Structure formats: C-alpha cells, structure tokens
Structure 1
Amino acid sequence: MATAVTGLRDWALASATRGLSVVDRALNEEDIRLAITGLSGAGKTVFLTSLIANLLAMAQGRATLPALQAVLDRHGGGRLRGVRLVPPGAGATPPFDIAAKLADLAGDSPHWPARTDHLAEIALELEIGPRGGMLGQMRGFVGVRRLRLRLLDYPGEWLLDLPMLGQGFSAWSRETLALLRQSPRAEAARPFLDYLGQIDGRRQAEEALVRRGHRLYREALARAQAEHGLRWLQPGRFLAPGPGVEQPFLWFFPIEGAGGPGSMIALMSRRFEAYRADMRSRLEALRGFDRRIVLVDVLGALAAGRAAFEDTERAIAAIGAALGGGRWFGRAAQVAFVATKADHVPELERANLRELLKSMAESGAGSGAGPVAGASFHVAAAIVSTTDGWADRPDGQREDVVWGRVLGEAAPRAYRVGSVPIRQPPAGFWSGRSFRLPIFTPPSIDPSGATGVPHLGLDTLLADVIGDRL
C-alpha cells in the first residue's frame, strides 16, 4: 500500500512539474525574428557584429545601448538578467560566425570583417524580469521571460530578383538589355554586348558558348557594381551566389528573340524558369521574419555619382516595397531603413542623411514602387571609427569635420566628406561635386565583445524595432 501511495505521489509531482513547465514556456518564452538585409557594401556584417557584441556587453552592466536600456527601465529597473548566444540548431542555414568577426576587429591591427554574400543566422536569448504592475507580478510567479532574438543575415541582392517572378524570360531579357546598352552600363558590358552580337540564339545550343556568355554577363554585372557603383543588377545571385557548388540552372544570360526546341534561347528560358523556382524557395527563409532592417550606403551612392545614386534609389525602393508588403511573404512586416556609415559626416549633416534616405525609399527614381507604408528611417554607424570636430579652411573659416585615420595611414586627419542634400540632388550637384568617401581604420575592441563596440544610433534603432516586445 505504501509503495502505491509513493508511486501515486511521484506521478502527481511529475505531472505538476510538467504542467508548470508547459505554462512557463507558454507565458515566458517568446521569439522576435529580425532580418537584416542590404546591398553589398552597406555594412550588414559589421552591423550584426556590433549588435550582438553590444547586447552581450549590456547584460554585463555596460552602458552600451542606453536607449534600449531606457525602454527596459521604463517598466522597472534591473530587468535584463542576462544575454547568451544560443547554439546553432539543426537547420540548413549556416551560423553567423560572431567569434571570427570580433577577432578581425581585435588585436594590434584591427581590420573590417570580410563581407558575407549568403544566408546566415544567429540567435541570442535575453532573460528579462517581469514588468511592474499586476500583469508583470502575475508573470513573475511563473518565472523570468526568455526572449529569443533570432537574427537573419539576408543578401539584399537576392531581393532585387523579386520583380523577375512576374516576368517571362523574353520580357526580362528585353528590359535588361535595354538598360545594359545605356551608359555607364554599356561601358561595363562591352565584351558581353560584343559577344551577343556575334551569336545566333536560334541555333542549336552549345554548352561552351552558353558558359562563355554567362561568364561575360556576370563579369559585366561585377564591373557595373565595382567600377560604377550601380546597384539595380539582376540576377542578384550572380553577384552574391552563396556557398556551395554552382548549379547549371544559373548558367544563363539575357538574349532576345525566339527559338525552337533545342535552341540556345530555349535553353536560356528553361534555366530562367528553374532560377525563379529556386528563388521562391529561398524566399521561405524570410517568411517568418516580420521585423526587417534595410541597410543603405547612401553616402557611397552620392560619392559614386548620379547614375549610381539613381540606381541605388530604384533598388532600395524595390526592396522596401517587397519587404513591407504581403505579396511575397504572406503578411506585411515592420521595415526600418538605415543610412549606414553616419560617422563619416559631422553631426549636423546626419539629419540631412536621414531625410535623403527617406526621399530615396519613397521616390525610387520613378520605379513605381511607391512609399513603404509604416516604414521608419534612421541613421547609424554600427562601429564608430571617427570623432566629430572642426578644422580651419584655407579662407580662415572653421568648418565641422570628422577626424579619422584612413586605412594605411599612421595618423588621423580631418575630413569633410561633402554636403548631404535632403532630397534627390539637382543636376548641378553632380557637375561640380567633390564628394568623397574614405575607408577609415576601425577601432580596436575586446575580442570577447565584453566591453561592447562604439557605435552611433544603434541603440535608438533597436529601441524602435524591438522595444515594444521588452
């Protein structure tokens, strides 16, 4: 009899423990899914590195993210009990290698981490004490909230391919080649355009000719990006292919005309359709991420000239329209646009930088994308590599500048990058422009990230994007 009673008691205790565990998970475990995207050079890798390092340091009592801390303290002080990195799960998405990125920035010769051109994911678990008030006290009986912040690094170039989902191969080829024949694309694409004029797409497909055309087209896109600062370049995966062995459906290029079965044009069309099918599967990674940050190198676009600026304008308008609406991802999402590298201009220019970003996202160079409903606009420097100051001009007048050490130089110097307009610049801006954008040496940091990373505006951005869940 005693044995039966003991067994019944143990069963009851185990059932109660399981029940409390279920209640605890239901009440205290939450996910925030935040995707960070941006075109090459916008600073996604540095942004993620700084965000993670500063959250970890904040949990150690460092005042690294004061605006985010203020949101937490609004409902009671000392609520952040801890932050830890969550080990990678069993999913197919590669993990974001935060340790390697921090190591690049640490040591005697800090350098900027290498760019990523593929999907990467990382998660942090924030332990947060209950809010004040009746609801907070009720939750406090169950336990500390465990808020899992899932971060996705998603190449912005892949999002440029979304319009291709609504096009056939012939329409895409006509539109792409029309752009490619305009300056400055024409200069970058000259070898490809010459090759295209020498072949007959209606003839039997020869793989050697196809592979050569694909290589020349991909090289044209790379030159347009690297030499002219252009950003509206499709397919985006030709520039950011991601890891792994390249698959044959990627081996295509735009070509006009109609061809029968077995022709080069028919082969290109089949591969185009296979590429679109693969694109749809890659979009699945974004479906669950209903908070999205779009990083934009506005200053780099200004420095590269009018064609690059208008190309960037069209690209970010298309990305914003895709991310903000429910057409591709099933539901609308919260989108925050961020002009990066804000430490390259003095404080008084940063308000202009934000307004220019807003103008770019909403106008889209006549792309027809329209404004992004509910989007917010920010300026930030994920890692600050300059200090604000002043310098004397040749005429004896003082001007606001930033002081920084350019890569390869031993001592810091004063830099006046140029005036930032608040909307699309007039023609005169480009004809007499002297806008330049140096690459500054990053500051050295603790390789563990325990002391945080100097930044500008990251805390206010995070407070705006995830503060409502804290």
Structure 2
Amino acid sequence: MKISLTGVAGGGKTVFLTSLLWHLMEIESGQLFPVREGGVRFRERPVRGRDCAPFPLDRHRDALARRGIWPEKTVDCHRYSCEIDLEGSGTLLDRLKRGLALSRRRLDFFDFPGERIADGAIASFDDYGRWSDHMLDHFCSHSDYAEAVAPYFSLLRELERGDGGPEPLGRVALTYRETLARLIHGYRPLIAPSIFLLDERGRRAPKVPVEELARTRLCGLDGAPFAPLPAQIRASLAGADLMAVRYGAYRTERVLPLFREIGTSEVLIVLVDIPSILAGGVGRYNDTRQIVLDLFDVLRPDSSLGARIRRLLTLGRGRLKKVAFVASKADLVDPDDIASGRLESLLRQMTARIRAMLPEVRFGWFAASAVRSTRRGAPGCLVGRPAYGNPEGLEKEFDVPSLPETWPDDWPAGAYPFQALSPDVARNLQNPPPHLGLDRIVHFLFQ
C-alpha cells in the first residue's frame, strides 16, 4: 500500500511520519492498539526506487528523544518502506484483521516538502494561459494580497497601455519575483512556482530584504523565469509566448513527476494545521484552502494530469482509494473542543468541496497529535513546556483560545494566540511518544 503525506509547509508532516513509524516499529508497546506478545511483527524493507532518499527516521527520533527538539523540516522527497504482520489479538486488531485479505501488509510511505503543494495549480493546468488566469483571479479576489501585488498589477496596466519600456519580459519576471518575496515576508503559503520559496537543493528562502530575494531566487528553471500574464498581454506583448514555453518546461521537469507520485498513491494523508491557520488570520485560511483545493483539482479524473494518471493505472500502478484529512497539532487545542467535535468540524467545513471532486474515494476526518506535549490544566488552560521565553524548559500553565463553531467571516492575525511548545518525549527509544488520535488513523489505513 503506497501512502503519500502532504500538507502546507509547517503542518507537522515530519513529526507525524516519525511518530507513526516509531509506533509501528514498537507496536508491541500497545499504544496504538492492544496486541498479544509476539503477535505483531514489524520489518523495515528496502526502499523502492532511487529517486528519493530514505526517510531519516533514526535522526528524527534522536532529535525528539535525546535532544528534546522538533525534527528538522522536510526539504526533499523521502521514502520509507516497512512490512507489518498482524497476527496478534485485541479488539481493534481483530477488526483490522477481518478487513484484510492477508495479515501481512507492506507500507510504502512517500513524503515531500509542503512548499511543493503550492504547485498544484501548475500540475492541474497544462495551459499557461489558464494557470495565469487562475493566479491573477486569486490575487484579485482576496484583498489581503492588495499591498503585495500592487506593483505587479501596476506594471501589467502599463503593458496593457503599451508603456512597458525596454525589456518588458525582464521587468515582468523581476516584479513578479518581488511580489513573491513580499508574500513570503507576509507569511503567505501560496508561493508559485514553489522553487522561489524552496530551491532545487532544498534551501528555503532566507529572511533578507525583498530586493535581495528577488535578485537571488529562481522563478522557474534556472535562467527561464515565468510569471502570470492576463490574456490581453499574452496576445499583444512581443515574446510573451516565451513565458508559456518556460512554464511548460518547469511543469514537465519539476512539477509533474511529484504530482504523479501523489496521484498513483492508494492513500493520501493531508495534514491541516488549524491552530496556525486561526493564528494567521483569514488570509492564511483562504490561501491554505486554495492550495488544498488545487491539489485535489489535480487528482480529478477529468483534469489533464488525472487523465495521465489513469493511463498509468493501466500499467499496474495504484489507484487512490482513501484520503485522510488530519487536523494536526490537536494537543494545542482545548480538550473540550476536541471532545465536542469542534476541531474536526472545522476541518470538515474547510474540505467539504473536495469529496465531490473524487466521488469514488473514501474520506476520513481526524483530530490528532503525533506527539502529545500538553495535558489539561485549569478550565481554559493547558500545561506544557513553551518553546520560547522558557530557557529552563519548565512546564507552565497557559491560556488556550476556544475554537469557533464555524470559520468566522473575518478575523485578524493574532486573534487566536496558540502556544508553540517543545516536545515531551521519553529518552528511552523503546517508548514511542504519547499521541492523540494516531490509533484511529491507523485503523482507517488498514480497514
């Protein structure tokens, strides 16, 4: 069973996969489900394919258990393969076994940087003009972008009047890179092409002035930048067709291989960091939702890439059967908001449109924390070790905001102040970290 993990950068994919594999490796600990001693066997298997490095599980476990820090974020594609023999007993395990034709199950995990999900629209649109219209419409439809995109739209108006000056394509490329730099400074996740934010060597854009970012980062393949242009300029500007050529080259070389991997998975796990979205304001919500919608637009059977994926299926590749939406970092949320279903409800509201895109796929929604680092405190409070302003690493009680029942019409950044925490993990590697809700996700995967 091939399982791909995705989600916007910072959603906790590395921690999620590390904890999940750790629990599977030490499955007899009973933290996922009750098992008979010797009844479940875990075996690591050689990774299939040489296009990605093996997932560095040991390094990430060491970061959590021995150094007490969160693992470094994913900056490249990784694979991990294992095999599980389900031969034990226990209520949940027995249900799992009845749902399997065989007790032995091979799991092939595929992990990739969250920044790349912003290329979903590029994967979906094989036509540069349609991608341009899609991006420009998104910028125009959300006032949060107004300040960041104003210089770029001003240049486009000049070009429409025929006042582009010398080397107009160069001005377009530079001004669009400046726009992307401002979006990065504003913590906006929709950075496309994603290579501007995370380059081909996995180096994230540094915290430097806009002008320096625009001068030093790529916006397409090396020496071939592209940017979205409206239809009038695409038709009238000399050399505008070069943008389409560059777009196609980037799409073919950088984007399609990754999204084919996703599209040929049997299971897709999508992590959504609702505390970060609420903390970031309505603009963060709109961007994150659009990125996730773009991803699933790629996977629709009638999309250009979906048609290609169907052709791959005839050659024996997998077919997407399940999607697990996971509200990650649930340990940052008031336990009452989890018990009442409010956190899961926000996740369902955000992703409601997606079920209709893939009617043959089974969907599941979960609230989970791969590493649980809090416990209940006084009403409206949690207890944990704050990551900042706490050099001694002491446990402290802190207020936690209540979740809204539905996504608000509008809210500013900072209206929902969630606490960043350090991990709370035993130094003994035989003891996987405490978790919240991983067992339900494993049950969903194996059913």
Distance 1:276 1:89, change over 3 A: closer
Distance 1:291 1:266, change over 3 A: same
Which of 33, 45, 48 in structure 1 is aligned with 2:2? Answer: 33
TM-score (norm 1): 0.73
- What secondary structure is seen at the aligned counterpart in 2 of 1:419? coil
The amino acid across from 1:274 in the alignment is: A
CA contact (8 A) 2:320 2:361 kept: no
Separation in 1 of the partners of 2:63 and 2:121? 37
Distance 1:369 1:126, change over 3 A: closer
1:365-444 map, 5 Å: 374-390=362-378, 399-408=379-388, 409=390, 410=392, 411-427=394-410, 430=411, 434-444=415-425
Specify every segment of 5 or more residues in structure 1 that has no aligned partner in the other structure, as ranges. Answer: 1-31, 137-143, 391-398
Separation in 2 of the partners of 1:290 and 1:370? 13
CA-CA distance at 1:50 after TM superposition: 0.5
1:70-219 map, 5 Å: 77-78=36-37, 80-107=39-66, 109-129=67-87, 146-164=104-122, 165-166=124-125, 168-181=127-140, 182-190=142-150, 192-193=152-153, 209=171, 212-213=174-175, 215-219=177-181
Q: Which moved more, 1:159-168 or 1:335-344?
A: 159-168
% identity of equivalent residues: 26
1:308-327 map, 5 Å: 308-320=284-296, 322-323=298-299
The amino acid across from 1:176 in the alignment is: M
Separation in 2 of the partners of 1:446 and 1:326? 50
Distance 1:104 1:311, change over 3 A: same
CA-CA distance at 1:46 after TM superposition: 0.5
- What secondary structure is seen at the aligned counterpart in 2 of 1:285? helix
- What secondary structure is seen at the aligned counterpart in 2 of 1:219? helix
Q: Deviation per CA, 1:368-389, whole angstroms, max 9, x where unpaired? A: 9698953110000111111112
- What secondary structure is seen at the aligned counterpart in 1 of 2:362? coil
Separation in 1 of the partners of 2:169 and 2:286? 36
Separation in 2 of the partners of 1:110 and 1:287? 36
Matching residue of 2:314: none
* Alignment pair present for 1:295 and 2:253: no
Matching residue of 1:353: 343
- What secondary structure is seen at the aligned counterpart in 2 of 1:418? coil
- What secondary structure is seen at the aligned counterpart in 2 of 1:338? strand
CA contact (8 A) 1:339 1:357 kept: yes
- What secondary structure is seen at the aligned counterpart in 2 of 1:83? strand
The amino acid across from 1:294 in the alignment is: V
Q: Deviation per CA, 1:114-147, whole angstroms, max 9, x where unpaired? A: 2113321111222343899xxx9xxxxxxx9643
Query: Rg: which structure is higher?
Result: 1
Specify every segment of 5 or more residues in structure 2 that has no aligned partner in the other structure, as ranges. Answer: 95-101, 204-217, 311-318
The amino acid across from 2:383 in the alignment is: W
CA-CA distance at 1:231 after TM superposition: 3.7
Matching residue of 2:215: none
The amino acid across from 2:404 in the alignment is: P
CA contact (8 A) 1:341 1:382 kept: yes
Distance 1:239 1:213, change over 3 A: same
Q: Which moved more, 1:275-284 or 1:265-274?
A: 275-284
Separation in 2 of the partners of 1:159 and 1:336? 16
The amino acid across from 2:330 in the alignment is: A
Q: Deviation per CA, 1:231-267, whole angstroms, max 9, x where unpaired? A: 4443344334453797337621223344689945222
- What secondary structure is seen at the aligned counterpart in 2 of 1:99? helix
Separation in 2 of the partners of 1:162 and 1:34? 18
Count of paired positions: 398
Separation in 2 of the partners of 1:161 and 1:437? 29
Separation in 1 of the partners of 2:226 and 2:151? 16
- What secondary structure is seen at the aligned counterpart in 2 of 1:384? coil
Separation in 2 of the partners of 1:416 and 1:372? 42
CA-CA distance at 1:178 after TM superposition: 4.2
CA-CA distance at 1:94 after TM superposition: 1.9
Matching residue of 1:223: 185
CA contact (8 A) 2:380 2:401 kept: no
Separation in 2 of the partners of 1:37 and 1:213? 30
CA-CA distance at 1:324 after TM superposition: 7.3
Which of 271, 284, 291 in structure 1 is aligned with 2:246? Answer: 271
